[in-house]
Amino acid sequence: MPGPPGWTGIGDASSVVLADGQFMLANAGTEQQALLNAETLTWTSTGGSKADSNNEEGWTLLPNKQVLTIDTRNGTNSEVYIPGSGKWHSAGSTIVPLSAGAEIGPAVLRPNGTVFATGASEHTAIYNTASETWSVGPDFPVSPQGQLNITDGPAALLSNGNVLCDTSPSGNPPSYFFEFDGANLNQVAGPPRAPLAGSFAGRMLVLPTGQIFFTDGSADVEIYTSNGSPNRAWAPKIHSAPTTVSPGGSYVVSGDHFNGFSQGAAYGDDAQSATNYPLVRITNLATGHVFYSRTHDHTSMSVAYGGIVSTHFDVSDNQELGTSSLVVVANGIPSAPVFIDVR
C-alpha cells in the first residue's frame, strides 16, 4: 500500500492506535502525522500544529483519549494530541530535561493515572493526567560504567502497578534494571546477558500472565516475573458472555476495563508493543488445558475506560469440548471467570 501522500520514507516512526481504533503514524523527520483508514487503506493528514520534529519521540495514549509526547528538540516542553481537533497543544514543562542529544526514553501510563516518563538524561518526570501537571521523578543512579539513563530503551507496566525499566550508560552495555514503584527506583536482577547489551537493544512485551517477555536482539529470550499482585479493581469485569460456544465459532463478550489501564509496554520510536486490547482465555476444567481465542473488532481501544466495551472472539478449531472457564485478560490481569459449555 502507498504511504501517506508526500512522504518519502518511514523510519524511527512513532505510532499509536487511537481510542477510536484509528492508526496514527508520524513522519519521523518532520512535524507531520497521518491517520490510516483501515477499510480503504488511505491516509489523512493530521496534527499540523506540532511544535517540533517527531524525530525520536514516543507517544503515550491517555485516559482522556489524547496522546502525550515529550519534545526532543524543544527544551522541557511536552504536548498532547487532541483527536477531536486533530491538533497538538502544549502539555506544560517536564521541569527537568528528559531529552539528551535528541534521544529520550519511554513513558508508561500507570493504573493510578500518572505517566512515568524516563529520559536520555538521568532524570525522570511524572505527568498527572487528572491535574494535567508535571512533577519531578527520581533520578537514575550512576553505575561503575557511568550515568544510567534510557537513551532509547524499553519499559513495561507490571501487573502490580510498578514499571520495569531497562537502563544503561547512554545506550551502551551493560544494562541495569529497575522497578519504579511510584516513588522510588528499586534495582532488580537483570537477565544473563545484561553485561553484554545496552538498553537500546532491549524490547519488552506484557504477556497474558502479567509477566514481561524480554529480548535483546540475540537468541536469548527471558521472562521477568515481578513480586506482588494486582489490585483487583484493575481487572476486567465481564458483564455479558455466551453460555455455550463451539470450536470454530465467533461470539461476543462485553464488560468494562477490557482495554486495561495502560498500553502496557513502551519504547518510543523504535519499537511498538502496546497491548491495550482484551484477550479471551478458555480453560478446559477437566484437562486444565488453556486455549486463547482470537479477539477483534473491539468497540474501544481507550485505556482506563469505565464504559462497556465489547469484543468479538473466535473460538479455536482445536478447542477441547466440555465445561470450561472463560476469562478476559487486559494488562496481564484476568477477570473473574464465567463458566461455559464447549460443544
Residue extents of the structural domains in the chain: 15-224, 232-342
d(CA 310, CA 255): 7
For domain 232-342, the CATH architecture is: Sandwich (2.60)
Task: For domain 15-224, give its CATH number from 3.40.50.10160, 2.130.10.80, 3.40.50.10260, 1.10.8.60.
Answer: 2.130.10.80
CA distances, 195 to each of 157, 171, 245, 342 (Å): 23, 12, 49, 49
Helix (H, G, I), strand (E, B) or coil at 196: helix
Q: For residue 176, give every residue at least 6 positions away whose Cβ sits within 8 Å of its Cβ, in sequence order, or none.
A: 143, 148, 167, 168, 187, 190, 194
Pairing of strands 163-167, 176-180: antiparallel
d(CA 329, CA 237): 10
- 149: which strand partners? 168
Whether the CA torsion 266, 271, 272, 273 is positive or negative: it is negative
Residues 256/209, Cβ–Cβ less than 8 Å: no
pLDDT tens, N- to C-terminus, the chain (343 residues) = 889 999 988 888 999 999 999 999 999 889 999 999 998 999 999 998 999 999 999 999 999 999 999 999 999 999 999 999 999 999 999 999 999 999 999 999 999 999 999 999 999 999 999 999 999 999 999 999 999 999 999 999 999 999 999 999 999 999 999 999 999 999 999 999 999 999 999 999 999 999 999 999 999 999 999 999 999 999 999 999 999 999 999 999 999 999 999 999 999 788 989 999 999 999 999 999 999 999 999 999 999 998 999 999 999 999 999 999 999 999 999 999 999 999 9
d(CA 342, CA 319): 8
d(CA 338, CA 243): 8
What is the distance between the terminal CA atoms of the chain, rounded to a whole angstrom?
Answer: 41
